[in-house]
């Protein structure tokens, strides 16, 4: 049963204290270990963490903060992307001009666009570095294999977000990049032409492609990313928090093939290791499946 302060206990406290209590139902600074773990478990924002975490996993050098940095670049991209949507129109007639206007006529427009663009590059780089960190610390091993698979999907979605966003400025660089990119997809065996047609909505890059890339870029892919990032975080908790180095070593030891250690043959006159252990020449007893020499017959 949760140890909530009685309503009277918040009376007479500061207004901030009372507001906090009305929202989170826990005192701002819990005093005991139990209160602290309950404060984490009952708080909507904090309950992403387990109530208990390994001390080593809190150190910056364990994760280098790369997963969280990837997440924050995604948040920056969502916020700046929504602001960009106020100006952008996804048609071949308007897209490029709107981009030029944004750079010259809109207050902080150039900053907004560059922030979005550089955050997109940063997200790809950070997701790759995060993946390397996870692999090099052995954190992809059991029981975290499924979170690794989720991560691979997240990386592919991140790359696809970059690809779909690339066409939106509708300048020469954008146009030819997508011509080349979708032509490569067209070389896929058996389904290449169909995949290319589905991507472009036409046989060549034009207004249909611009509209499809826009919808994928601003709605479909971000929605899927939000769901999968939520799942990724939830899995971290369910897998017992972040991997501890010792756990990672144990997993790799369990995965490797055990090397047989040679046991020296006992010499004549050696004492048996225990009194029940048969000596050479002993008759096998009834019920001894192994014939008394300790080795089971292989089938
Ligand atoms: C949108 C991209 C991604 C985001 C926002 C993200 C976010 C995070 C965060 C915040 C953590 C907690 C630890 C930390 O900060 O490093 C984490 C852990 C983890 N991530 Fe990601 N991640 C992403 C992509 C990936 C990729 C590409 C992989 C691998 C293919 C991956 C696999 C994992 C695994 C296995 C863990 C658990 C690591 C451990 O227990 O130490 N993630 N992720």
* pLDDT in the model for residue 273: 55
* pLDDT in the model for residue 11: 73
- What stretches of the chain show up as alpha helix (H) in DSSP? 7-10, 15-24, 33-42, 55-58, 60-63, 66-85, 95-104, 109-136, 145-167, 172-186, 192-200, 207-215, 221-238, 245-255
Where do you find CATH 1.20.810.10 in the chain? 55-251
Q: Give the number of the atom of ligand 1 that is nearest the alpha carbon of residue 134.
A: 38
Among protein residues, the one with the nearest Cα to ligand 1's atom 12 is 67
* pLDDT in the model for residue 179: 96
Tell me how far the alpha carbon of residue 130 lies from the centroid of ligand 1, in angstroms. Answer: 6
Place of tokens 């252990």: 277
Tell whether ligand 1 has an atom less than 6 A from the beta carbon of residue 161. no
Q: Give the number of the atom of ligand 1 that is nearest the alpha carbon of residue 137.
A: 41
User: Token pair of 228, please?
Assistant: 């999968």
Tell whether ligand 1 has an atom less than 6 A from the beta carbon of residue 222. no
Tell whether ligand 1 has an atom less than 6 A from the beta carbon of residue 134. yes
Tell whether ligand 1 has an atom less than 6 A from the beta carbon of residue 73. no
* pLDDT in the model for residue 28: 66
Place of tokens 């049963």: 1
CA angle 273, 278, 284 (to 5 degrees): 160
Per-residue pLDDT tens digits of the chain, which is 299 residues long: 455 555 566 677 788 888 888 887 766 677 888 888 887 888 777 777 776 777 778 889 889 999 999 999 999 999 999 999 999 999 999 999 999 999 999 999 999 999 999 999 999 999 999 999 999 999 999 999 999 999 999 999 999 999 999 999 999 999 999 999 999 999 999 999 999 999 999 999 999 999 999 999 999 999 999 999 999 999 998 888 888 876 655 665 666 655 555 666 666 666 655 555 555 545 544 444 343 333 343 33
Tell whether ligand 1 has an atom less than 6 A from the beta carbon of residue 129. no
Alpha-carbon torsion (227, 229, 230, 232), positive or negative: positive
* pLDDT in the model for residue 5: 52
* pLDDT in the model for residue 34: 85
Domain 55-251, CATH 1.20.810.10 — does that match?
yes
Among protein residues, the one with the nearest Cα to ligand 1's atom 24 is 151
What are the CA-CA distances from residue 23 to residues 9, 39, 79, 228, 255 (Å)? Answer: 15, 12, 25, 28, 47
Packed helices 172-186 and 192-200: angle between N→C axes, nearest 10 degrees? 150
Tell whether ligand 1 has an atom less than 6 A from the beta carbon of residue 66. yes
Tell whether ligand 1 has an atom less than 6 A from the beta carbon of residue 232. yes
pTM for the whole structure: 0.77
Among protein residues, the one with the nearest Cα to ligand 1's atom 7 is 67
């Amino acid at each position: 049963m949760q140890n909530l302060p009685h309503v009277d206990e918040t009376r007479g406290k500061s207004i901030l204290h009372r507001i906090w209590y009305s929202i989170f139902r826990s005192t701002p600074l819990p005093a005991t270990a139990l209160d602290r773990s309950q404060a984490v478990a009952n708080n909507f924002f904090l309950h992403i963490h387990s109530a208990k975490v390994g001390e080593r996993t809190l150190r910056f050098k364990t994760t280098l903060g790369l997963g969280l940095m990837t997440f924050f670049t995604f948040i920056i991209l969502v916020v700046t992307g929504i602001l960009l949507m106020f100006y952008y129109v996804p048609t071949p007639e308007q897209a490029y001009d709107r981009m030029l206007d944004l750079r010259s006529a809109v207050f902080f427009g150039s900053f907004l666009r560059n922030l979005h663009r550089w955050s997109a590059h940063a997200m790809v780089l950070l997701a790759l570095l995060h993946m390397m960190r996870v692999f090099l610390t052995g954190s992809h091993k059991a029981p975290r294999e499924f979170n690794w698979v989720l991560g691979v999907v997240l990386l592919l979605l991140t790359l696809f977000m970059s690809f779909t966003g690339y066409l939106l400025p509708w300048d020469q660089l954008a146009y030819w990049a997508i011509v080349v990119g979708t032509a490569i997809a067209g070389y896929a065996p058996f389904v290449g032409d169909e995949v290319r047609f589905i991507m472009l909505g036409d046989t060549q890059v034009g207004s249909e492609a611009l509209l499809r890339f826009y919808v994928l870029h601003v709605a479909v892919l971000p929605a899927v990313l939000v769901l999968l990032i939520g799942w990724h975080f939830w899995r971290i908790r369910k897998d017992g928090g972040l991997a501890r180095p010792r756990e990672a070593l144990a997993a790799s030891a369990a995965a490797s093939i055990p090397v047989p250690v040679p046991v020296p043959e006992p010499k004549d006159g050696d004492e048996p290791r225990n009194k029940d252990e048969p000596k050479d020449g002993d008759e096998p007893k009834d019920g001894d499946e192994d014939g008394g020499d300790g080795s089971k017959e292989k089938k």
